[in-house]
Every structure is written in structure tokens, then in C-alpha cells.
């Protein structure tokens, strides 16, 4: 069975790669075309080009989530927890996503406690959790919107909060937000185009660390996602300082 699972993953990875390669070219070509033509914002031609870019990026995101989810389902995830510093991971991820945030002229504030304990986690998985939450905040926050990442200690856990200034999530949809393929109907925006897997993957990875994820949101007042992670035991922490 393990052999079949491995072959399935290899096939999915190869297929995703084959599809992503032309998608990258499509996105780059459309962006270059928009830059060269210098079309008036709001014109029919400009809207068509932006639609091509937006939908190509959406397909690219869906492919990434599909590949990642397939690995999780067959247990092909390399999970190697160790004592890690949350502040460094947060700063690394925000640096990676800076161009995306600047593209919408948004602001991002960091509020991190100076003396957070180490948490026991897999560095790559923790980065994926934060990337998913921050790209989600970027997607649902408007142009020139505000986002914030906070982190503090709560007992024997470290809590990370990612907040946005979007339209918020209706109360009746908040319990279903982490369900596979569920797309949130955000007030005034309709169902946002997405894979419906990003938050499902995020929840899986958080719980793999023995942590919890939840949200607070109100229509018209933005959303805040919270992740709590257990701190590393003292012996582990001391061996990595």
C-alpha cells in the first residue's frame, strides 16, 4: 500500500508541476502585457487582462493546495518537530509575502512579545500555517487595508493572532470555515474564488502540533485567526539555546 501511495504522490506532483509551468508563463505574459499597454484603469481591456491574471493565480493556488492535501491524506508529510523560535518564523514569512502585501498597498503591523518561549514544532509546517493565514488576510483585506500579526505567551502556550480589515465572516458560516472545499460568503464580496482547502490544511497542521486554531469575526469588522502552540519542554529548549 505504501508503494502505491508513493507512486500516486509522484504522479500528482508531476502533474501539478506540468500544469504550473505554463500557468507561470501565462501570468508573467499577462502582467507584461498590462505593463506594456498601460491601459486606463477600469477599461474593458484592462479588466480582461486582470481577469486572466486573477484566474490564473487562482488555478495556481488550487493546484498547490491540491498537491499539499494529497500528501496529508496519504501520510506523506515529513513532520520533524524541534524547539523553534516563533518570532523568527513570523518575520521570515512576512518578508516573503512583502511583495504581495505591497501589491495591494496594504500595511502590516507586527506586535511580538520580546521573551516568547520556544515552541515545539516543525519549521516548514509552521511557515505554511503562517503563509496560509497571511495570504488569506491579504486576499480578503481591501486595497490599502490593514493587517496585523501578534504573538504572546499564555500559560504554557504561545498564541499567534493574524487579523485583517476585510468584510468579516458571518456568524452562521464561522463553524464551517475549516471544512474542506467550503468557500466563505463574505459580506459584500460574494464567494471569494479560492481552493477551499487553505484553512483545512492550516487546521490539520496546527492540530498536528498539538495546538488549536479558532477565529473571531463580525460582518463589516474584519477577522482574526488565532493559533495556540505548546511551548517546548525545558530540556529541549535548553539544548537548542
Is domain 2-73 in CATH 1.10.287, yes or no?
Answer: yes
Give the pLDDT confidence score for residue 16 in this predicted structure: 73
Confidence of residue 234 (pLDDT cuts 50, 70, 90): low
Give the pLDDT confidence score for residue 40 in this predicted structure: 86
- Decide: pTM greater than 0.85: no
Selected residue with higher pLDDT from 194 and 117: 117
pLDDT at 160 over 90: yes
d(CA 180, CA 178): 6
Give the pLDDT confidence score for residue 142 in this predicted structure: 92
- Cell (9 digits) for 233: 519542554
d(CA 40, CA 45): 9
pLDDT at 18 over 50: yes
* CA 44 to each of CA 16, 92, 95, 103: distance values in angstroms, whole numbers, following the listed order: 32, 39, 34, 21
Give the pLDDT confidence score for residue 122 in this predicted structure: 92
Give the pLDDT confidence score for residue 162 in this predicted structure: 97
82-239 has which fold? Heat Shock Protein 90 (3.30.565)
Give the pLDDT confidence score for residue 58 in this predicted structure: 75
Selected residue with higher pLDDT from 115 and 188: 115
Give the pLDDT confidence score for residue 161 in this predicted structure: 98
Q: Which residues of 59-98 are buried (b: 16+ CB within 10 A; e: fewer)?
A: bbbbbbbebbbbbeebeebeeebebbbbbebbeebbeebe
C-beta atoms surrounding 169 within 10 Å: 22
- Cell (9 digits) for 232: 517546548
d(CA 95, CA 211): 25
Of the spans 57-66, 154-163, 195-204, which averages the highest pLDDT? 154-163
- Cell (9 digits) for 96: 516573503
* Averaged confidence pLDDT in the chain: 84
* CA 130 to each of CA 92, 95, 218: distance values in angstroms, whole numbers, following the listed order: 10, 12, 22
d(CA 9, CA 183): 26
What are 53-85's pLDDT values in tens digits?
A: 888 887 887 777 676 666 665 565 678 899 999
Selected residue with higher pLDDT from 73 and 221: 221
What are 6-15's pLDDT values in tens digits?
A: 666 666 667 7
pLDDT at 129 over 90: yes
* CA 115 to each of CA 17, 229, 235: distance values in angstroms, whole numbers, following the listed order: 41, 15, 18
Give the rounded percent of residues in the chain with a pLDDT score beyond 90: 46
Rg of the chain on CA atoms, in Å: 19
The full set of domain ranges for the chain reads: 2-73, 82-239
Give the pLDDT confidence score for residue 60 in this predicted structure: 81
Amino acid at each position: 500500500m505504501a508503494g502505491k501511495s508513493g507512486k500516486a504522490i509522484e504522479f500528482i506532483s508531476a502533474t501539478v508541476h506540468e500544469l504550473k509551468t505554463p500557468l507561470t508563463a501565462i501570468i508573467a505574459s499577462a502582467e507584461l502585457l498590462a505593463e506594456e499597454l498601460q491601459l486606463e484603469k477600469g477599461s474593458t481591456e484592462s479588466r480582461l487582462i486582470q481577469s486572466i491574471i486573477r484566474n490564473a493565480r487562482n488555478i495556481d493556488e488550487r493546484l498547490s493546495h491540491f498537491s499539499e492535501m494529497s500528501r496529508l491524506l496519504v501520510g506523506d508529510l515529513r513532520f520533524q518537530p524541534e524547539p523553534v523560535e516563533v518570532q523568527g518564523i513570523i518575520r521570515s514569512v512576512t518578508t516573503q509575502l512583502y511583495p504581495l502585501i505591497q501589491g495591494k498597498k496594504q500595511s502590516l503591523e507586527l506586535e511580538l512579545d520580546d521573551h516568547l518561549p520556544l515552541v515545539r514544532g516543525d519549521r516548514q509546517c509552521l511557515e505554511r500555517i503562517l503563509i496560509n493565514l497571511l495570504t488569506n488576510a491579504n486576499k480578503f483585506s481591501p486595497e490599502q487595508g490593514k493587517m496585523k500579526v501578534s504573538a504572546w505567551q499564555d500559560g504554557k502556550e504561545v498564541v499567534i493572532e493574524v487579523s485583517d480589515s476585510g468584510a468579516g465572516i458571518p456568524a452562521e458560516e464561522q463553524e464551517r470555515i475549516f471544512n474542506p472545499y467550503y468557500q466563505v460568503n463574505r459580506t459584500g464580496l460574494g464567494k471569494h474564488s479560492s481552493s477551499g482547502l487553505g484553512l483545512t490544511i492550516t487546521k490539520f497542521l496546527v492540530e498536528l502540533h498539538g495546538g488549536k486554531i479558532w477565529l473571531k469575526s463580525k460582518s463589516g469588522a474584519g477577522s482574526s485567526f488565532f493559533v495556540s502552540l505548546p511551548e517546548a519542554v525545558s530540556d529541549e529548549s535548553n539544548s537548542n539555546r
